[in-house]
Amino acid sequence: MNEIEPEQRIYAVLAAIPSGVVVTYGQVAELAGLLGAARLVGRTLSKLPCETQLPWHRVINASGKISMRKESSGFDRQKRRLQGEDVVVKEGRISLKQYRWQP
């Protein structure tokens, strides 16, 4: 039996995240069966093509913050996409208590 590549497992979890919620990098890793691989999740997401349909914008850091620098266009794009799903982003932070996905 062929083992599924880690990236494919991350993509599968990403595809399952519903609109209007967020997950942390560590949570994606855990759900993908890759305990302790939060950085792998971050690297994998950073390699996604701009035109991807996967909801990369729903992944934030463990502190509830958008990981990109506030000066970057990626920060603004992620913030706008989250706000478009009625997720409140205040000073680059999202309430994990309110918006964390609990599958």
pLDDT, tens digit (0-9, with 9 covering 90-100), for 57-99: 999 999 999 999 888 888 999 999 999 999 999 999 999 999 9
| Alpha helices, H only, the chain | 6-16, 25-31, 38-46, 73-84, 96-99
Indicate the class that CATH gives domain 6-99. mainly alpha
Measured CA to CA, the distance from residue 81 to residue 20 in angstroms comes to 10
pLDDT computed for residue 5 by the predictor: 94
**Residue 90: φ, ψ to 5°:** -120, 115
pLDDT computed for residue 10 by the predictor: 97
Sign of the Cα torsion 77, 82, 84, 87 reads negative
pLDDT computed for residue 1 by the predictor: 41
What is the arithmetic mean of pLDDT over 33-37? 95
90 three-state secondary structure? strand
